[in-house]
Chains A and B, each alone.
Chain A
Amino acid sequence: MTTRFSILVTGSPFTSQAHHSAQCFVDALYSKGHQVTSVFLYGDGSYVANQLMHPANDESHPHQHWRELAQKHGFKLQACVSAAAKRGILSREDSELSGKSSFNVTSPYEIAGLGAWVEAVANSDKSLHFS
């Protein structure tokens, strides 16, 4: 039986294990035939949406890993607009609206309101939080 999960990630990419654990978990879910309604990045978790993240070649790259997983499995990868904006994580549209000179969020990452998370929870059987 397929179970639908909504995944909340609030841990910071490099001072918590949240992203690594969530990525392993999400990949395992799909390998067992389950689904993910959204991976929602909130609080410090939204830092991972920064596409300018550029770690050394032999280090882990949580931004790239989420990108590959979302492309492989097709789940929504959403960062909360208010959490992201205050941390300098901006889509092209939000950047233009706030008069900034650049942006750092690109597809499959999306910027979304908290309503998107509420919807993801409503459409899932279980929710998991990685902090």
Chain B
Amino acid sequence: MNLLFILNKPPYSSDIGKESLDMALAHATFDDTVSLLFTGQGVWQLKTDQFAKLAGLKEFTRLYTGLDLYDIDQLFVSENALDTEQLTRDQLMVEASVLNDEAISRLINQQDRVFCL
């Protein structure tokens, strides 16, 4: 089954980012084909140089650099979101395909299920 997780929330303002990732990893472990799309403030989850510890939080986003262990290699980032948040591709901790809105629409249409927690 092809699943897309849309991550649109910043990493540390709630547990939703962590809980979305946990769910995506569970699906990948059971042989679903999982893609991740970072959009809106969700692009901050991929920002390099996070120091979550300073805020007393666990830096769960480190897991994004080890997703190949779970056979998740489809990472996508919204071009629009990068512009809005004034981030560039080289500020992201992983290689991700940058998609415009039209390409995002095509990506969503290719899925069996789409989740945005």
Contacts and interface: CB of A to CB of B under 8 A. Distances in A.
B117 A131 contact: yes
Binding site secondary structure of chain B: mixed
B117 A115 contact: no
Interface string B2-20: 0100000000000110010
Given A115-B26, A115-B30, A122 B19 contact: no
Nearest to A43: B19
Contacts, number: 42
B27 interface: yes
A79 interface: no
A127 B116 CA distance: 12
B27 to A, nearest CB: 5
A118 interface: yes
B113 A121 contact: yes
Contacts of A121: 1, 3, 27, 32, 113
A77 to B, nearest CB: 18
Interface of A: 8, 10, 42-43, 82-83, 113-115, 117-119, 121-122, 127, 129, 131
